[in-house]
Structure 1
């Protein structure tokens, strides 16, 4: 029971970070219908920017976080303006290949500037641990869950209450109708990419504190795809549920089965959900008549 409790906590913390990265994926897909295979590398960029701001330039962790968010916004806007906007009207497969190429460029850029050896950042999350029923629970894991919950709640309120959030939902439903009522679709596209980068960067910063910084974080970002397929490509609540489920399954597999099975279980879930419910648990079913 002690091991189960501890695995559950670690799974929830990893799932919360996955939900943050998956939220950005869903934002881009809902607003622009683009499947962004570079989302995991945005997470990697966030971790390394945080590392550079703290250790290379010596900024306080709070300022380092702000710098990471600023870099994320700039990166998202630049990618949308100069890489994705010229691809409007092109075949979906061409756009997908562009995002795959973008992920390779981002990964190569990180290796060029920072090398391939793992880095360790000073911890900004609370240190120490809490003992409950014999299980050792790091405060940093609890803090990561709390931060992810606050960010996800803030984004949910942004979509449902703010003017820009409602505009994004309108564009996601019907771009032509949004244009007729004066909504700038291009501005919404840029906002979607900027917010997607921000959510991934926040996840990367949390991972940098919990596990250190290395190129392996991009592999963690790959698990975003099973999360969004499970929850639904166009469902914001689905990212939360999908992140929690995948995070728990990975941790339980690592603790009870091992032998590397935890690395493949998310993709087993991905294949299973595509076969049984291809639109995901919360995705919108679309029927096209031809």
Structure 2
């Protein structure tokens, strides 16, 4: 039982990390109706910026405090992500207002490849470390109940707390602020939103900036855990089936979907992998998403689309 709980908890914590990436997908789709294939590349780009700025800031300023250096590096990386958001709206999305959904989808795919290449040009292609002081030592819980206890990674607990705080903040933002309501109006109908005076360009800059902030947080946590490398953008694609599970328009659904996916794939890999030959973690998420598409296409918390004729 102790081993099962350890596997389950490890899967849940991994699912929370997936959820941090999925939040970016949900945020942009909820606010603009655009399925952003570039979110994984944004996570990688933000992580590269944070890793390199955290190296360069002490050299530029002579700071000895790691905390201050990391804070300045985070601020610089966030400013860079806001600048990227502004350029995306100015050069791409602003030119494609009221275009077909497939046009916007392909534009985000182009943005993804550009960010991958530009990030390598700007920051280099080595594997970099991000050290923000997150605890690395494992904890052993329930030692009185199970022999040896249940191994828990403190870094995963911090990631879970950050993800929960982001979800709560974004849910309140969409529900109770004028900007949040404007974002939802733009997602429903671009033309109607413009006709009542909602500034579409400013709204898109805001939502991509917030998505850039979410990508930065996800990139810092993933980079601290695994190192910053170009496989991060591929790893972030695990968030695609996750948003199908939770619902493309649901911020809490991103978390619930991540927990289901993380726990499911970890348990399947550990307990079914030896019997089926392993490799379950590679395809489990996509098969689960396919099942949901057949049974409940809108996801667990997605909004049902009703067409009246």
* TM-score of the pair, normalised by structure 1: 0.91
Q: 1:211 offset after TM fit, Å?
A: 1.3
Q: Tell me the residue number matched to 1:270.
A: 289
Q: 1:3 offset after TM fit, Å?
A: 2.7
* Partners of 1:196 and 1:38 in 2: CA distance: 11
**1:70 and 2:89 matched:** no
Q: Tell me the residue number matched to 1:247.
A: 262
Structure 1 residue runs of 5 or longer lacking an equivalent are none
Written as runs of structure 1 = structure 2, the 5 A alignment for 1:135-150 is 135-150=150-165
Q: Tell me the residue number matched to 2:6.
A: 6
Q: Tell me the residue number matched to 1:282.
A: 301
* Partners of 1:279 and 1:137 in 2: CA distance: 34
Q: Tell me the residue number matched to 1:54.
A: 54
Per-residue CA shift, 1:157-208, capped at 9, x if unaligned?
2122222222223333444454444322222122111111211221111111
Asked if 2 retains the 8 angstrom alpha-carbon contact of 1:61 and 1:124, the reply is no
Structure 2 residue runs of 5 or longer lacking an equivalent are 59-67, 143-148
Q: 1:91 offset after TM fit, Å?
A: 2.9
236-245 or 169-178, which deviates more: 169-178
* TM-score of the pair, normalised by structure 2: 0.86
Q: What secondary structure, in the 3-state scheme, does the structure 2 residue paired with 1:11 have?
A: helix
* Partners of 2:93 and 2:196 in 1: CA distance: 24
Relative distance call for 1:60 and 1:2 in structure 2 (3 A) is farther
Q: What secondary structure, in the 3-state scheme, does the structure 2 residue paired with 1:24 have?
A: helix
* Partners of 1:7 and 1:110 in 2: CA distance: 35
The partner residue of 1:102 within 105, 111, 120 is 111
Relative distance call for 1:139 and 1:104 in structure 2 (3 A) is same
Relative distance call for 1:136 and 1:245 in structure 2 (3 A) is same
Asked if 2 retains the 8 angstrom alpha-carbon contact of 1:69 and 1:202, the reply is no
Q: What secondary structure, in the 3-state scheme, does the structure 1 residue paired with 2:78 have?
A: helix
Q: Tell me the residue number matched to 1:31.
A: 31
Q: Tell me the residue number matched to 1:121.
A: 130
21-30 or 116-125, which deviates more: 116-125
Relative distance call for 1:256 and 1:65 in structure 2 (3 A) is farther
Asked if 2 retains the 8 angstrom alpha-carbon contact of 1:9 and 1:141, the reply is no
Q: What secondary structure, in the 3-state scheme, does the structure 2 residue paired with 1:60 have?
A: helix
**1:79 and 2:88 matched:** yes
**1:201 and 2:216 matched:** yes
53-62 or 243-252, which deviates more: 53-62
**1:230 and 2:245 matched:** yes
Q: Tell me the residue number matched to 2:205.
A: 190
Written as runs of structure 1 = structure 2, the 5 A alignment for 1:141-220 is 141-220=156-235
Per-residue CA shift, 1:231-271, capped at 9, x if unaligned?
11122222121121112223223433442210111111121
Matched pairs, number: 290
